[in-house]
A = this chain, B = another copy of it.
């Protein structure tokens, strides 16, 4: 334990430099009323002692702690992760640090974590939802700015940023149309998800704009591979002419491709398939690699962080902002002939 030495304080620096703490502080913070030679001395002393200002004392004084809370309702869910990465990235470790909290989808726990964060005097909060549907607002009596990411708040006074699911659905359909597909089916997940309906709506709009209809009303089920397999069998039975398939998730698409292959359909020559989420592990290693709609979640997290900064800065936003999706093209929609 050689390193028992407490970290150096400003008075240590001041003493070593032979000045007062006030002067040392001003020197280090670039205040004007310090002679250049004095400033130099102070800097050298600070360097020698590897001085780091104590953020607790700074925070106590300024009222700002340079910290934000990232409260996710489901850390396990793969959607939260890229959002958090984006946010963490945007904050940049030096100026702002991120407190991580996972509410495990439990409202009580969320309240608890919220109190803990507020007691730590975070400068702001990002609430990351597990699913894209609206969630209850924390209410207006939170003392710090709040940004809702992925799952928008149900209070339009709040600021939320979420994925534009209608756009995502449209993108998928337009892509299939663009490669000449005309008989397009839609298989998606849990009908309880608003996002599932939004994506279907977007796809239907795009088809309609091209003077087409889906071969049949969209199949709702679950977000799983097995549903993708089952639904595909049913759909193909009723509509063997299908040449394009829009899936509500990459898992569904994987199941769908499995079923298509077993039914003797070539992908993409007979049937082109588009997934949703662009979940690399599933998409890139599929047979063939799966084209998919990317919600750009990392960018979403980054935007959330920026907006939070603005709000902390006194320039809050309101309403729900929708981030457009991107299309990632892979083999499942790249004709080989």
Give the B-binding residues of A (Cβ under 8 A).
2-3, 6-7, 52-57, 59-60, 63, 65, 67, 70, 75-76, 78, 81-82, 84-85, 88-89, 93-94, 97-102, 112-113, 115-121, 140-143, 224-226, 251, 255, 258, 281, 285-287
Contacts and interface: CB of A to CB of B under 8 A. Distances in A.
B99 A285 contact: no
A60 B99 CA distance: 19
Number of copies: 2
A52 B226 CA distance: 50
Contacts of A52: 115, 118-119
Contacts of A7: 121, 143
A330 to B, nearest CB: 13
5 contacts: A6-B63, A54-B121, A56-B57, A60-B60, A76-B85
B102 A88 contact: yes
A308 to B, nearest CB: 15
A255 B115 CA distance: 46
Nearest to A61: B56
The 3 closest A-B pairs by CB, nearest first: A100-B100, A93-B116, A225-B285
Contact of A85 (B84, B88, B102, B255): B102
Contact of A99 (B97, B102, B121): B97
A258 B143 CA distance: 54
A95 to B, nearest CB: 9
A141 B3 contact: yes
A107 B251 CA distance: 35
> Most chain-B CB neighbours within 10 Å: which of A93, A115, A255?
A93
